[in-house]
């Protein structure tokens, strides 16, 4: 049996390999490594790492259009991060990423109202946290895609102006 002291290194290595395969577009291989990393994070009871890895898993599932699976891991990551009694900058960063990715999953499932609610939550979170302002672009870009999909031309044009200002 492997020593427990080796697990943090293994968790980091497996998550890193998952990220590498994800970047190369080999999402099924990425998922195998991410799942191994998540299993270790859970064994170590490292909830922040587990949430981060779940966020990574959701991205891989989103890329292969397994939106239900992406949603499941996003909800797990979001619930885990939001239940943390102390929220670090890292936690807030990932909470915002979860909401933006959740909005994208809702958009692709054509659940536009839920997508907008997720993006509105991003606005609430970012307010007063200048270190999260770079995520305004992502938030507005997803909102732009929602308006495009819904064929709301006036809203699309207004949002396009905001996206261009943030770019």
DSSP string for the chain:
---GGGHHHHHHHHHHHHHHHHHTT-HHHHHHHHHHHHHHHHHHT-HHHHHHHHHHHHHHHHHTT-HHHHHHHHHHHHHHHHT-SS--HHHHHHHHHHHHHHHHHHHHTT-HHHHHHHHHHHHHHHTT-GGGTTHHHHHHHHHHHHHHHTT-HHHHHHHHHHHHHH-
pLDDT value of position 147:
97
Q: What percent of the chain lies above the pLDDT cut of 70?
A: 98
End-to-end CA distance of the chain: 51
Separation CA 115–CA 62 (nearest Å): 15
**Does 107 score more than 70 pLDDT?**
yes
Rounded to an integer, what distance in angstroms lies between the CA atom of residue 100 and that of residue 58? 12
Going by C-alpha positions, the residue among 134, 42, 50 that lies closest to residue 96 is: 134
Is residue 70 within 8 Å of residue 105, measured between CB atoms? Answer: yes
Label residue 128 by pLDDT band (50, 70, 90).
confident
* Calpha distance 58→43 (Å, rounded): 20
Please say if the pLDDT value at position 3 is more than 70.
no
Would the pLDDT of 48 be above 70? yes
Q: Return the pLDDT at 151.
A: 97
């Amino acid at each position: 049996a492997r020593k427990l002291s080796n697990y943090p290194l293994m968790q980091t290595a497996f998550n890193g390999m998952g990220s590498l395969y994800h970047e190369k577009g080999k999402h099924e291989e990425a998922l195998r490594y991410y799942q191994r990393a998540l299993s270790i994070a859970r064994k170590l009871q490292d909830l922040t790492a587990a949430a981060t890895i779940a966020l990574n898993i959701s991205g891989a599932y989103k890329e292969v259009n397994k939106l239900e699976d992406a949603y499941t891991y996003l909800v797990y990551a979001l619930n885990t991060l939001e239940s943390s009694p102390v929220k670090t900058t890292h936690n807030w960063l990932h909470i915002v990423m979860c909401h933006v990715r959740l909005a994208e999953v809702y958009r692709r499932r054509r659940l536009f109202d839920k997508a907008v609610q997720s993006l509105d939550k991003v606005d609430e979170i970012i307010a007063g946290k200048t270190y999260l302002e770079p995520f305004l672009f992502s938030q507005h870009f997803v909102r732009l895609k929602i308006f495009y999909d819904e064929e709301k031309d006036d809203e699309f044009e207004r949002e396009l102006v905001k996206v261009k200002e943030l770019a």
